[in-house]
Structure 1
Amino acid sequence: MEKETKQLVQAIHDAPERIVLVAAGAGTEALSNLLGVPGATRTLLEALVPYSTAAFDEFLGKPPAKYVTERTARLLAGRAFTRARWLDAANHPVVGVACTATIITDRPKRGEHRAFIAIWQPDLLVEYGIHLNKGFRNRSGEENLVSRIILNGLAEAMALPHRLPLPLTAADRLVVSTHHFGQAARQLNLGERAFFGVRADGRIRHKHVNSQALLSGAFNPLHDGHLELLQVSAKLLGHPVAFEISAKNVDKPPISPEMVVARIAQFAGRWPVYATNAPTFLEKARLFPNTIFVIGFDTAVRVLQPRYYQNSITRRDAALHEIANQGCSFLVAGRQDKNGIFRDGAQLNVPEEFQQLFRHIPAEAFRKDISSTELRATGQRGSR
């Protein structure tokens, strides 16, 4: 191993971050370097090399549209990141690192040689796309360049001063893109934006797509009940459902940008999520017209209670009329109350004129007696 590589890897091992690394097609030299310097157990939580499509698909959760693309690298990094969060019990800062590549093999390739690397942190996702000068290097040379980019990306993520020189030619093309979750959360906190979304692949969305559904909640933590409700509601509605977290809540203090980012981190690589400044469903309806809000029974009860409308039935009814006029409605899931009694949407006391505003999910379609409050109280973790 070259001296400069060894020095960089040693600095990585001395940093507090813990990582999960996924390398498909290239990047195993970076893994070898990490393992070749004492201290790897301080850095590496897990490394995977999913070469077969079956292994790749299983890690990702489903087959990607294409295996070697920027989006697939981001999805892999998101899954690596959530895996790192799950494996690290000591609450270290964690990083998900992924590479998907097609480089020179023992048979000619018609397409270009390229690699996409993504590095996912709680507040930041950085991706590197390298399009290689085809025919200039042998496999060892292409692998070495890709691995150097991975190690440099880790150094950047860990705020280390070390960098390896990259032997690029004029025909090589390296593109770097950054997605700032933390910046978007701070803008939300300052009121500079009313909402933002983070797609499953980490791309930030500032516009809302109409005619979808949102499953609203605090997700502290995200658990199997939320995930099953997402699947059931998407099946009943016949279209995808995204998650929505509000930084402001009518019954609780606002959550900080750091906490917004931490909540969003739970969805990395798997599900789209929106963060908003909309504590009430009237405000959500104004932000997201033509949307179905998937909520639990207890939340539906609060939506109907006059005390959330300055103790005014008139104000409540006006708000519900506006929600309906925005093209929005509610899909209500049953929930077990504090006395252990399961209550579903059929038991809601909905005024006659708003009956069409509330649909309910039958208990036989969905029932999951689990709550984030109980998980926190008993020290249990959510889902990954």
Structure 2
Amino acid sequence: MHGPRRKMKVAGTIMTVNIFLFIVLEVSRSGGQGKGGDSKLHVPSKRFWARLAPSTGFWNREQQKLDLLHNPVVTNTSAGVTSGGVLPFDLLPDWLNDTLGLEACEPDPRVAVQLKDYNQLPQRFKDFLSYLRCRSYPMVVDQPHICQDGPFLLLAIKSLMPHFDRRQAIRESWGRAGLLANRTVATVFLLGNATAGDHFPDLSAMLQYESAQHRDLLQWDYRDTFFNLTVKEVLFQHWVDTSCPQVSFIFKGDDDVFVNTPRILDFLKGLPPAKARDLFIGDVITHAGPHRDKRVKYYIPETMFVGMYPPYAGGGGYLYSGDLARRLHAVSHQVALYPIDDVYTGMCLRKLGLAPEKHKGFRTFDVEEKFRGNPCTYKGLMLVHPRTPQDMIKIWGWLNDPKLKCQ
């Protein structure tokens, strides 16, 4: 009888909250009507909240679970809440209980029966879905010195183990660490593991040499794939929160972009404090949804996700504040991992009640071909994508030429 009593108590609490909210809304609407006003209490004919039903998309159902478990209206009631503020299993709908008991990094064998087209999905989807709840991997290379002095700008570059030439070109051009325009700039490259299972050669000895030489690699022990870029995102968020909490601003991008670092510093210099706190700018994509064409790199089946994406900044590169980085880390635990990392970051921003701001200085889809060879094209931009290592060094040389004159 203990379980049913708890359920009745929760239902009673929620009903009381609904009635209270309705009365407040009615009083507000009437404006505290005085003489001659209609003070009649209107009782709603339908329930304020509809009964929770599972979504048709697997990711959406996982998000429904997190939304319920972090819902303050439910978890802050006095009925049957655990010490951690989470409802016990016997108070949740049955369909919400199906995966909550698994260890975080165990593959979930039940996923295969929760998606009707599971057997027809490409292997990358099966791998991602099986480890959807896994957010923690061992860190194998760290750089504790990077943030000892609290850098003004941290350049965090997503890279792969074999991309030695890209990383070196960045170090020799726009990612050069040190003092720039009287501001401290630090650079880190974010890596996972390039495994033999993905047909990579063994590059571990070369990576060890690179790490010893430059001391700017951050590496975690997870499989570095396109769908695991979201894992790289949450691991980096955790690293910032624990190892670089004093950073003022972060640029996060790919290793095939050119970044005009002096232009970014100039932009940040004149930023009002209120604007700086919630800063998140880039090449923003709005009114987008998942691709349903299996030939597209960003293909997502309907059995996995339904609905539209929130506004998000293209993953080629975006700029945001250290303050917001810490809030993104905190809220990320309330958002189910999604296999497209820039969309996932947009989801986390929406959870915070924020949206990325579009800035014309971010050109993740390049500039017109006729302007690409003109040095002055890059003078007012913050980012251009894509560029080869040779392009990066060439453009950096253009911008640092004292003879360059642009109108």
TM over 0.5: no
Higher relative contact order (CA 8 A, sep 6+): 2
TM-score, normalised with respect to structure 2? 0.23
Which has more strand, going by share of residues? 1
Give the TM-score normalised by the residue count of structure 1: 0.24
